[in-house]
Structure 1
Amino acid sequence: MPAPKNPFKARLAAGKPQIGLWMGLANAYTAEICAGAGFDWLVIDGEHAPNDLQRMVGQLQALAGYPVATVIRAPVGETWILKQLLDIGAQSLLVPMVESGAQAAALVEAVRYPPRGKRGVGAALARSSAFNRIGDYLTTADEEICLIVQVESQKALAALPDIAAVEGVDAVFVGPSDLAADMGYLGRPGAPAVKQAVRDAIATLQRLGKPAGLLTADQTFARECLADGARFVAVGTDVTLFSGATSALAQSFRDTAPARSGETGGY
Structure 2
Amino acid sequence: MLRTNTVKQRLAGTGESHGLFCSIPSPVLVEMIGCAGYDFVVLDSEHALVDPQQLENLIRAAEAVDLVPFVRVPESDPGAILRVLDAGALGVVVPHVRCRADVDAAIRAARYAPEGMRSLNGGRVPGFGRIELTEYVRRANAETMVIAMIEDAEGVEQLPSILDGGGVDLVLEGAADLSQSYGVPWQTRHPRVRDALARVHAECRARDVPFCALPRSPEDHREWRAAGVRAFVLGEERGLAARALRAHLDLHRENHE
Aligned counterpart, 1:244:
243
Cα shift at 1:77: 3.3
* 1:95 to 1:15, Cα distance in 2 relative to 1, 3 A: farther
The AA in structure 1 aligned to 2:192 is: A
Alignment of 1:123-202 (within 5 A): 124=122, 126-135=123-132, 136-202=135-201
Q: Which runs of 5+ in 2 are unaligned?
A: none
Aligned counterpart, 2:57:
58
Contact 1:79-1:119 at 8 Å conserved across structures: no
Q: Tell me the secondary structure at the aligned position of residue 50 of structure 2.
A: coil
The AA in structure 1 aligned to 2:7 is: F
CA distance in 2, matches of 1:170, 1:157: 17
The AA in structure 1 aligned to 2:110 is: V
Contact 1:172-1:212 at 8 Å conserved across structures: yes
CA distance in 1, matches of 2:163, 2:56: 30
Contact 2:68-2:90 at 8 Å conserved across structures: no
Contact 1:215-1:234 at 8 Å conserved across structures: yes
- Residues 200-223 of structure 1 deviation map (CA, whole Å, 9 limit, x = unaligned): 211221012111113233221122
- Residues 206-242 of structure 1 deviation map (CA, whole Å, 9 limit, x = unaligned): 0121111132332211221222222311112211111
* Count of matched residue pairs: 255
Aligned counterpart, 1:106:
105
* Structure 1 stretches of at least 4 aligned residues deviating more than 4 Å after TM superposition: none
Cα shift at 1:50: 2.8
Cα shift at 1:110: 1.1
Mean CA deviation greater in 216-225 or 180-189: 216-225
CA distance in 1, matches of 2:29, 2:2: 28
CA distance in 1, matches of 2:148, 2:14: 18
Contact 2:31-2:64 at 8 Å conserved across structures: no
The AA in structure 2 aligned to 1:127 is: R
Q: Which runs of 5+ in 1 are unaligned?
A: 259-267
- Residues 148-191 of structure 1 deviation map (CA, whole Å, 9 limit, x = unaligned): 11111111001111111122211111111100111111122122
CA distance in 2, matches of 1:101, 1:49: 26
The AA in structure 1 aligned to 2:127 is: A
Cα shift at 1:256: 4.7
Aligned counterpart, 1:262:
none
Alignment of 1:13-162 (within 5 A): 13-122=12-121, 124=122, 126-135=123-132, 136-162=135-161
Rg larger for = 1
* 1:130 to 1:76, Cα distance in 2 relative to 1, 3 A: farther
The AA in structure 1 aligned to 2:57 is: G
CA distance in 2, matches of 1:75, 1:118: 19
- Residues 21-79 of structure 1 deviation map (CA, whole Å, 9 limit, x = unaligned): 22122211111111111122221111122323222211111121223322211122321
RMSD (Å), alpha carbons = 1.9
Contact 2:214-2:232 at 8 Å conserved across structures: yes
Q: Percent identity?
A: 28
CA distance in 1, matches of 2:196, 2:163: 17
